[in-house]
């Protein structure tokens, strides 16, 4: 069965094709080629079912019910409800007078228009019958279920996330209890994981919606959510074997355990293949040695590790690989629990510029004993899952940037409307209008690119780096600029912690660094363009 998203896209394309293939006299045009579909949407594909837990939560919190438990179905209710009646529109248009005629020499005198003979003009309905009408398509919420998800997460963020944000950021503490409710109440800790393991079975668009809405209220809380639900849960779901998924996914999707990923090191960030943590094969187990740095969810408190991690380590030595170039690529992935021998918390990293309500830590592996069955995927096969996960991570980091920017725009609009200077609201001054209008335009452009990229993202494959790099490059820079303008609009008030724009700016800055630096995205994009397109052939 085709997904609702795919069906909506096909309906849209068929309507465009029919309209393009019909002339004004109702006869086919010379060319009947298919009209191009403006949005890049995946082809038909069976979609996983929506979590029953999520549906129940939606029903109880929104007061509405759903007769279907499928996130994408083969019909689109909104299309039928909002479909244009072209015949009615044409009839109404025929009743309107033509534009007034102004006789030469008397421009200030109006005359009744001459009667217009519409008999030779075809009805608009000859261009597209009512059932052929182009269905409305909302890029940001393509289906009713996407819209419902956005409303529910927005309500949760407003009522539960927003009230705690300032206090937890000031205390530099992570709200673990609130995080658990995302699993126990909303079923959102495995958003793109099959229901078989307790997940919600969402797509990349839904993941963007969740991250955008949570970041509007508390980007730091959302960052920890990302590290758990994407860097651990989604990563393991796509790359682990059945036993590993059965063992670890239920606990992490329910919120009983919090997970993270260990990739960056003190001397290896952007140069991720330069990591020094190594794993040595000892027969029935591996010994991991090294340090991981800047690990989100690395600790629950100042002295307690997170529960479970996916850790990348070099395995060239254990395989006897001596060639330096090949050795850099010999990366393997391991599941490490906090109680494993030789695994400890190096430090909780404090006094960060931003994202203070998201715990960041250094992890230490001192001959950490890891069972052989905790190797995820193939030995030396960690690069593909690493790169695939980075692609989707960059997309949702861009979604976080869009959520931050939307909040900053709302804040500066409100302040500029209420702040009086020189006897009138400051939003009447051109400089303030420039800050607000430019911010809105940049935000809308970034958000449009974000959801276009998300809709074309296949969660089951790698090799989609160019667009994920592009949207993170654009959106993260946009968010920092917007927050900077918001502080400027607020003046001195924007420079103190009591006003949200100061925290938003600090949080937004990290997104230009984490998940790939701006400079890394630029390098990747140029390299991918050079290898995949000709001098004059950019992608359609």
Nearest to 392 by CA among 264, 203, 251: 203
- Active-site position among 145, 172, 212, 393: 393
Has 393 been annotated as catalytic? yes
Nearest to 435 by CA among 482, 490, 402: 482
Q: Which residues contact 125 (CB under 8 A, 6 or more apart)?
A: 86, 87, 90
**375: its two tokens:** 């190797």
CA distance readout (Å), 89 to 5, 12, 15, 84, 260 = 28, 20, 17, 8, 55
Listed in order, strand segments (DSSP E) in 54-148 are none
How far apart are alpha carbons 113 and 239 in whole angstroms?
71
Contact 372, 187 (CB under 8 A): no
Contact 401, 395 (CB under 8 A): no
How far apart are alpha carbons 40 and 470 in whole angstroms?
15
How far apart are alpha carbons 98 and 427 in whole angstroms?
38
Contact 392, 357 (CB under 8 A): no
Q: Which residues contact 217 (CB under 8 A, 6 or more apart)?
A: 157, 158, 161, 162, 165, 407
Contact 436, 414 (CB under 8 A): no
Residue-wise burial string across 120-156, b where 16 or more C-beta atoms lie within 10 A, e elsewhere: eeeebbbbbeeebbbbebebbbbbbbbebbbbbbbeb
Active-site residues, by number, are 393
């Amino acid at each position: 069965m085709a997904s609702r998203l795919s069906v909506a896209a096909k309906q849209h394309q068929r309507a465009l094709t029919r309209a393009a293939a019909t002339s004004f006299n109702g006869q086919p045009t010379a060319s009947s080629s298919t009209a191009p579909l403006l949005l890049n949407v995946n082809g038909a594909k069976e979609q996983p079912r929506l979590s029953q837990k999520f549906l129940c939560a939606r029903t109880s919190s929104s007061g509405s019910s759903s007769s279907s438990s499928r996130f994408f179905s083969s019909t689109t209710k909104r299309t039928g409800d909002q479909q244009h009646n072209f015949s009615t529109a044409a009839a109404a248009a025929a009743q309107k007078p033509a534009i007034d005629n102004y006789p030469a020499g008397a421009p200030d005198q109006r005359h009744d228009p001459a009667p217009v003979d519409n008999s030779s003009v075809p009805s608009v309905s000859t261009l597209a019958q009512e059932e052929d009408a182009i269905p409305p398509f909302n890029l940001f919420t393509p289906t009713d279920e996407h819209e419902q998800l956005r409303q529910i997460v927005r309500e949760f963020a407003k009522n539960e996330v927003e009230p705690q944000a300032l206090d937890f950021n000031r205390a530099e503490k992570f709200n673990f209890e609130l995080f658990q409710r995302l699993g126990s109440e909303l079923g959102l800790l495995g958003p793109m994981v099959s229901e078989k393991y307790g997940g919600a079975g969402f797509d990349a668009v839904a993941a963007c919606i969740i991250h955008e809405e949570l970041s509007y209220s508390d980007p730091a809380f959302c960052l920890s959510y990302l590290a758990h639900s994407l860097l651990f849960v989604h990563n393991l779901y796509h790359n682990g074997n059945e036993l590993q998924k059965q063992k670890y996914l239920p606990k992490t999707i329910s919120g009983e355990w919090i997970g993270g990923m260990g990739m960056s090191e003190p001397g290896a960030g952007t140069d991720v293949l330069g990591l020094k943590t190594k794993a040595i094969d000892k027969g029935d187990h591996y010994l991991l040695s090294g340090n991981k740095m800047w690990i989100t969810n690395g600790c629950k408190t100042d002295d307690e590790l997170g529960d479970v991690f996916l850790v990348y380590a070099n395995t060239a030595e254990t395989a006897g690989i001596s060639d330096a170039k090949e050795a850099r690529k010999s990366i393997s992935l391991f599941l490490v629990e906090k109680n494993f021998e030789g695994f400890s918390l190096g430090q909780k990293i404090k006094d960060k510029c931003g994202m203070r309500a998201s715990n960041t830590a250094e992890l230490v592996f001192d001959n950490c004993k890891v069972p052989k069955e905790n190797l995820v995927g193939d030995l030396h096969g960690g690069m593909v899952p690493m790169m695939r996960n980075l692609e989707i991570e960059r997309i949702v980091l861009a979604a976080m940037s869009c959520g931050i920017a939307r909040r900053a725009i709302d804040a500066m609009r409100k302040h500029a409307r209420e702040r009086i200077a020189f006897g009138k609201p400051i939003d009447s001054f051109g400089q303030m209008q420039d800050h607000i209008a430019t911010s809105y335009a940049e935000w809308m452009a970034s958000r449009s690119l974000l959801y276009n990229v998300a809709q074309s993202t296949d969660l089951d494959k790698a090799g989609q780096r160019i667009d994920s790099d592009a949207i993170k490059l654009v959106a993260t820079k946009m968010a920092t600029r917007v927050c900077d303008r918001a502080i400027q609009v607020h003046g001195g008030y924007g420079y103190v912690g009591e006003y949200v724009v100061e925290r938003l700016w600090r949080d937004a800055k990290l997104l230009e660094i984490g998940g790939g630096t701006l400079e890394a995205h630029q390098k990747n994009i140029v390299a991918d363009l050079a290898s995949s397109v000709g001098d004059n052939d950019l992608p359609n």
